[in-house]
């Protein structure tokens, strides 16, 4: 069993095109965690995602429902003690909540953002590395 904090960009990639990424999100050997703002991000960018993906709004809504079942959402108050250090650690301030959650749970982050590897505290796995682990 592999436990991971999932980056929003992984979800966007899975939605925009049928790929191995979408399959990995559904993989039973993988347990996914995310800060609570992740679903809000999806809703916020709904229109852009719908424009880029070749799916209907119904398909988008079904995917969102699946995500809510597959991803364990962690409330911000649970990771607050880790945020200050995460801000220092994260190469991108927008990703600090992912780092806080990964630090709290002591698990890697699944992201294809190469900049996130510019630190030595939290392991970052890209999709290809995750495929090799499975």
Per DSSP, the three-state class of 36 is coil
Query: Could you identify the residue written with the tokens 């424009």?
Result: 51
Tell me what pLDDT residue 5 has.
98
Helix (H) or strand (E) holding 34: strand 30-35
Q: List the chain domain ranges.
A: 2-133
Tell me what pLDDT residue 29 has.
94
Tell me what pLDDT residue 16 has.
74
Among 19-23, 46-50, 51-55, name the one with the lowest average pLDDT: 51-55
> Mean per-residue pLDDT for 40-60?
80
pTM of the full structure: 0.91
Query: Does the pLDDT at position 111 exceed 90?
Result: yes
Distances (CA, A) of 4 to 12, 105, 122, 125, 126: 17, 9, 11, 9, 11
Tell me what pLDDT residue 60 has.
81
Tell me what pLDDT residue 45 has.
81
2-133: in CATH 3.40.50.1010: yes
Tell me what pLDDT residue 51 has.
81
Percent of the chain with pLDDT over 70: 99
- Split at pLDDT 50, 70, 90, the class of 18 is low
Query: Does the pLDDT at position 57 exceed 90?
Result: no
- Split at pLDDT 50, 70, 90, the class of 59 is confident
């Amino acid at each position: 069993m592999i436990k991971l904090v999932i980056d929003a960009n992984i979800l966007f990639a899975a939605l925009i095109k049928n790929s191995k990424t979408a399959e990995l999100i559904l993989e039973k050997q993988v347990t996914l965690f995310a800060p609570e703002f992740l679903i809000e991000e999806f809703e916020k960018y709904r229109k852009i995602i719908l424009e880029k993906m070749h799916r209907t709004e119904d398909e988008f809504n079904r995917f969102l429902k699946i995500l809510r079942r597959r991803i364990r959402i962690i409330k911000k108050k649970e990771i607050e003690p880790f945020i200050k250090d995460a801000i220092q650690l994260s190469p991108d301030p927008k990703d600090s909540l992912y780092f806080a959650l990964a630090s709290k749970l002591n698990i890697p982050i699944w992201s294809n953002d190469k900049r996130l590897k510019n630190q030595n505290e939290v392991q970052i796995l890209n999709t290809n590395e995750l495929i090799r682990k499975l």
